Amino acid sequence: MSAFDEKIQPAQRIHDFKPYFFADLNRRIQTLKAQGMDVIRLDAGSPDLPPPDFIIQRLIESASRADAHGYASSGGSAAFRRAVSTYYRQRFGVELNPESEVLALIGAKEGVFHLSQALLNPGDVALVPDPGYPVYSAGGRIAGAEIYPMRLRAEQGWLPRLDDIPPEAARRAKILWLNYPNNPTGAAATMDFFAQAVAFARQWGVLIAHDAPYMEVGFDGYRAPSLLQVDGAKDVAVEFNSLSKTANMAGWRVGMVVGNAQVIRLLAIYKSQVDSAGFLPIEEAAASALMGDLSWIHARNRIYQQRRDLAVDSLQACGFNVEKPHAAIYVWARLPGGYGDDMRFCARLLEHCGVSITPGSIYGGGGQGYVRLSLCTPEERISTAMQRVRDFLSANKNGEDTL
Q: Can you give the pLDDT at residue 367?
A: 96
Contact 192, 172 (CB under 8 A): no
What kind and span of H or E run contains 102? strand 102-105
pLDDT of residue 157: 96
Rounded CA-CA distance 187/325 in Å is 6
User: Using CA of residue 72, residue 81, residue 112, residue 243, what is the dihedral sign?
Assistant: negative
Which pLDDT tens digit goes with each residue over 100-121?
Answer: 999 999 999 999 999 999 999 9
- Check: pTM over 0.75? Answer yes or no: yes
Coil/strand/helix, residue 322: strand
Is residue 220 within a helix (H) or strand (E), and if so which, with residue range? none
* Residue spans of the chain under pLDDT 50: none
pLDDT on residue 399:
67
Report the C-alpha gap between 257 and 241 in whole angstroms. Answer: 6
Q: How far is Cα 237 from Cα 165, in angstroms, rounded to an integer?
A: 19
Strand partners, 259: 238
Provide the 10 A C-beta neighbour count for residue 109. Answer: 19
The reported pLDDT for the residue numbered 402 is 61
